[in-house]
Structure 1
Amino acid sequence: MNHFRFLFIAVLGLMLVAFKFKEEPHIYFFKGTDRSINSIVALQNSIVKLQGNALNVQTKQEEEAPGIQIKGNWDLSKCNQLVLEITNHDLLGDLPLTVVLENKGASMGKRRGVFLERIYIAPNQTNKVSIALPNDFSKAIDEQLVGMRMTPFTKWGLIANIDLKEVVSLSVYVNKPRYNWNWSVNYIKAEVGEKQANPAWMSLQEKDFFPFIDQYGQFKYQEWPGKIHNDQELKDQGQKEFADLEKYPGPIERSKFGGWKSGPKLKATGSFRVEKIDGKWWMVDPEGYLFWSHGVVRVTPHAGITPLDGRKHYFSGLPKKDDAFAEFYTTHDELLKPYYTARNIDSTYDFSAANIKRKYGEHWREIYADLAHQRLKSWGLNTIANSSDKQIFMQRKTVYTDRIELKSPYIEGSKGMWWKFNDPFDPQFTIHFRKQLLEREKELNDPWCLGFFVDNEINWGEEATLAEWTLQSPATQAAKIAFVKTLKTKYKTIQQLNTVWKTNFKDWQLLLESREKAPLGSKVDCIAFSKAITEEYFKKVRTEFKKVAPNKLYLGCRFARSNINAVTIGAKYCDVMSYNIYAQTLDNFKLPNNLDKPVLIGEFHFGALDRGLFHPSLIKTKNQEERGQAYFNYVKSALRHPSIIGTHWHQFADQATTGRFDGENFQVGMVDICDTPYWETIAKIREIGYRLYETRQGKTTQKNKSPYTDYIDY
């Protein structure tokens, strides 16, 4: 009897466990078979419809963050992960999605009530993606951590300051899309389960947590391979690297300028140029050898400058004013200093340069500059890309590029990604540009200089945007005066314009003085004049550039987001089209309208969270091994592409752990804040760099076999 009673109790217990599991294994946000679960909202003109058991979403390129939002009320406090199954119907590359959970009254800017993570869905595939949900931690400390994009508490996601008991929305969207995307959500659910334990430091009180950055600019409460604990370790790392550089001096069969010495020899002109050979675009170096630019941006000892204003309590070991390292309160980066000034940032500290001085001694500047060239050659790189230290690239040991950011009157109504749009109709436009060019006369006459980028990541808006911004500018705006003159020629009378625009201006002067938003009826005229602004911009830049530097390459404006007219018009005037493209590969990149122009990738990068930094960069990888492989895959895809003539990694060294002027604190360096190479990444840079030209040509030889692999499948 007792035996049967025990068996009955055991079976009943199992049934209860099974029932509990059936009731509580997960919480659905969307499930195709149950279409009434929650309220689904289309974000920013997205087309959303149910197809079978999936939610199909079509998002547009011109929108800022198109996608879906699911509204409801959820208690996720017992859940340990989000699980999404999503299909990417396109062949445009990995679909980049941002996933956001929010509390009521959430603020993305203040990092309150928000959990955010980014995921990627492979082309033409259905991927199941899991995202770890955060544990509780001291939000009071996190809210004090200002001036950085991500904080130590964002380990669980890019933003993780949320109360999981009171989630009211989940959004999935494409942030600043480069393409029109077509994708489907099959399901989204939160899994019930035990969370990973927090590290001990996450339970510290405020008085114990601060300061959280050590004298080297590193996070105090985490250990990782290569972390520096004392000055001797810095010097030991230097000796280790010197031995590595001696062992691997660089690829053979390279010309003086890093071109392909064993490849075809063309006419030597003394300057770099571009040519299309056998269906592929190439650069040609000054000696006539084919050249493909494998480079890195911001080769400078000053990558780790961070603001101190209101944040000195973050840092331990800051030097006193009479200390030998007090000089690093006053060092600055030539490119970025205007950005600090514009934000009224008064006090900074340069952790990267301070560490380089500790590592190499009093003559650190000279040693670092010489070492930069030795490193790049050893690593299989051949270009010091823009925004680098002049003391380094003017040694004329490695080919370099530079960048000019135009400083002339803006279109006042414009909105920029970094600065407002320069008014090309203003007479000061060409005057200022010529002055900026002449300030770089030595570079413009230097055969080691590839050419110049002019501007960076301009906000072109949509097809009508530049003219719409012009209409919102004052009556004295040169572009606006030119626009009204064009309208007078077209419409003859203000009454005719009013009929088309559906406005009621009494005369042309009132139109000129108006700063209202563009009326709907003005769309056609705004598109036409936006094209005129774009034409004037590129034409004047090229004209002045070629007057001063006829033999230098005009490398374009480093498109980030653009519209088809900006790209098409730019292609008429640029020697090389430049793009900053943060993606997994370039396999699906193409210029619009079948344009046939050489393309240079001005920026790309990958990062991870396993080496003490808080932000994994714009493209996140799991760890350093995956990061290195991502580099290899990206550059290899560029070498396969017939239009692409180079890739420039952003950037040489990590940004400061606590952020630069705009809070960026990305793990993006080939070296860290202590000038230690990320060896996993260096191995893959060498692997692709040593076989650069053979890969571009589609040939395999043993002359430049990578020192890190016995066989490379090209």
Structure 2
Amino acid sequence: MLVPGGIEIGQEAWARPCDGFVSLDCCWGPRLRRTKWGGLIDDGLRGSGFFRVAERDGVFWLVDPAGGRFLSKGVDTVRFDQDRIGGTERVPYAEACRTKYGSLQIWRTVVSDRLASWKFNTVGCWSDELVASAGSQLLATAPTAELGASFRLHRREQVFPDVFDPEFSAHIRASADQRCRHRRNDPGLLGTFIDNELYWSPDWRGADELLTLFLNLPSHRPGRVAAISGLQAHYRDFAQFNAVWRTQARSWEELGRIEHVVAPFVRLRPGVLNDALETKANLADPAREAFSADCDAFVAVVADRYFELCVSAIKTADPNHLVLGSRFGYQPLAGVIAAAGRHLDVISFNCYEFDPGPVIDAYAATGKPCLIAEFSFRGDDAGLPNTKGAGPRLATQLDRARAFEGYVAAALSKPNVVGYHWFEHADQPAQGRFDGEDSNFGTVTIDDRVYDELTKTMTRVNAAAERIHAAAVPAVI
């Protein structure tokens, strides 16, 4: 397969003569020398004992603890006890592996070596971290601290954690200390994800804006007070505000007491096409434009506070490792992306499209590297319902393999990408897991049989990943 930059993925590419970007093969030798972490040995880089970020000729890389040029190639949910059948205590994958391997430790060793043989180097989110050191090749780990989510669970009325609540800051510091401090000297820790798929704006979960969610918190919550204060500072008087928002209140004081504020407009989920439609709608209606500006301004303030507090808390507990972002479930509003860029070491996002390029481009404006924390494709020939779960459904396992190859090649052609994590290790139960998902996301079946077409392609593409990324063309700013 020819990928962006003119490099072929395949064994024949090793023997090609030097010409342009392909001369990298000659510089690194026909057999690329790697560190014990799997990074490419690069005389221009030095190890710090921990993973870090570097930029070379406009292309971002991770640097492994030994100084190797590294891309994080990961698999999520690598665990023996993956996926209980919803409403039961049955874990079909564990049942099959207990019969097949006899013990958890043997399973760990087999799976660790199997992932390494497929040229993966990272166990991603929700994984058994002991898998990383159980085999003959060291693998990196990338856990999530779930800082914001754990605070929200204490405040059941909150869809998004109230970052203005003084208790939020205290909770974040205590949680980061508990969940991150013990890892501070671990060389195998790639970095820490703060959260997973928080609700930033309209998406598949609902049409609410973050601003209206905060306006509808209980009247005593700091987030509601902050939202009203921001609106009050922006508008000259209440009548001007209400000309846009059309609430039943007659004053700022009454706005603080009414039970429910209904948004005067419903916006589309952020994205290139929807953003163009929103711009057209705003030009046709000044009130809608004002409403959109209010929502955008507020979510930018929330995002800045969220990332500032969370990154500070994690860095205080663990100053040695990268903060990998909050795994955006979709491309958020521009103000959220800008805030992420100001505070994070790496911006992470989940993207279940065929081509991640447009989403990657949206994050490139921050000047920060990004990591794809989830992507996948489902095959309808696996015998699973595939009725619930993200991403495209394809006809066959061969189609899954081809989609993986195209997706990763497109991602690595972008200079700011430093890794990609496949969701997930094993298939979901046909009966559905806790949320009903019942899909063919696995590299193996629920009986631990390997999907050969997929994993052979993964092996080939993963082995070529550094050469593909070295040919990425830096963006012209």
TM-score, normalised via structure 1 length: 0.53
Corresponding letter in the other structure for 1:513: R
Deviation at 1:499, TM superposition (A): 6.5
Deviations 1:520-553 (A, max 9, x none): 7672444322322222111111221221122211
Correspondence for 1:623: 396
TM-score, normalised via structure 2 length: 0.78
Aligned positions of 1:15-414 closer than 5 A: 253-261=33-41, 263-307=42-86, 345=87, 347-361=88-102, 364-393=103-132, 397-405=138-146, 406=148, 407-409=150-152
Corresponding letter in the other structure for 2:215: L
Corresponding letter in the other structure for 1:485: S
Match of 1:563 among 300, 309, 333: 333
1:444 aligns with 2:207: no
2:121–2:138 CA contact under 8 A, matched in 1 = no
Deviation at 1:258, TM superposition (A): 1.6
Corresponding letter in the other structure for 1:461: S
Higher strand share: 1
Corresponding letter in the other structure for 2:365: N
CA distance in structure 1 between the partners assigned to 2:163 and 2:121 by the alignment: 35
Higher helix share: 2
Deviation at 1:372, TM superposition (A): 2.1
Correspondence for 1:467: 211
Structure 1 residues 495, 642: closer, same or farther in 2, change over 3 A?
A: closer
1:281–1:644 CA contact under 8 A, matched in 2 = yes
2:183–2:318 CA contact under 8 A, matched in 1 = no
Match of 1:574 among 337, 340, 344: 344
CA distance in structure 1 between the partners assigned to 2:337 and 2:450 by the alignment: 37
Deviations 1:74-108 (A, max 9, x none): xxxxxxxxxxxxxxxxxxxxxxxxxxxxxxxxxxx
1:265–1:290 CA contact under 8 A, matched in 2 = no
Secondary structure at the aligned position of 2:393 is classed as: coil
1:598 aligns with 2:369: yes
Deviations 1:551-588 (A, max 9, x none): 21111111122222211222111111111111223344
Corresponding letter in the other structure for 2:40: W
Correspondence for 1:513: 257
Correspondence for 2:318: 549
Corresponding letter in the other structure for 2:183: E
Deviations 1:619-676 (A, max 9, x none): 2222112212221222222222211111100001111111101110110111111111
Deviation at 1:376, TM superposition (A): 1.4
1:478 aligns with 2:210: no
Secondary structure at the aligned position of 1:349 is classed as: coil
Secondary structure at the aligned position of 2:85 is classed as: strand
Deviation at 1:501, TM superposition (A): 5.1
1:586 aligns with 2:356: yes
Deviation at 1:502, TM superposition (A): 5.4
Deviation at 1:489, TM superposition (A): 4.4
Structure 1 residues 487, 606: closer, same or farther in 2, change over 3 A?
A: closer
Structure 1 residues 592, 299: closer, same or farther in 2, change over 3 A?
A: closer
Q: Identity percentage over the alignment?
A: 31
Deviates more, 1:666-675 or 1:396-405: 396-405
Structure 1 residues 428, 270: closer, same or farther in 2, change over 3 A?
A: same
Secondary structure at the aligned position of 2:190 is classed as: strand
1:692 aligns with 2:465: yes
Deviation at 1:436, TM superposition (A): 2.4
Structure 1 residues 426, 622: closer, same or farther in 2, change over 3 A?
A: same
Structure 1 residues 612, 464: closer, same or farther in 2, change over 3 A?
A: closer
Higher relative contact order (CA 8 A, sep 6+): 2
Corresponding letter in the other structure for 2:372: I
Corresponding letter in the other structure for 1:430: S
Corresponding letter in the other structure for 1:578: S
Correspondence for 1:321: none
Higher Rg:
1
Secondary structure at the aligned position of 2:144 is classed as: strand
CA distance in structure 1 between the partners assigned to 2:441 and 2:355 by the alignment: 17
Structure 1 residues 634, 459: closer, same or farther in 2, change over 3 A?
A: same
Deviation at 1:506, TM superposition (A): 5.0
2:346–2:369 CA contact under 8 A, matched in 1 = yes
Match of 2:385 among 609, 614, 636: 614
Structure 1 residues 258, 490: closer, same or farther in 2, change over 3 A?
A: same
Secondary structure at the aligned position of 2:319 is classed as: coil
Deviation at 1:397, TM superposition (A): 2.7
How many residues align? The count is 403
Deviation at 1:281, TM superposition (A): 0.8
Unaligned runs of 5+ in 2: 1-30, 266-286, 473-477
Corresponding letter in the other structure for 1:424: V
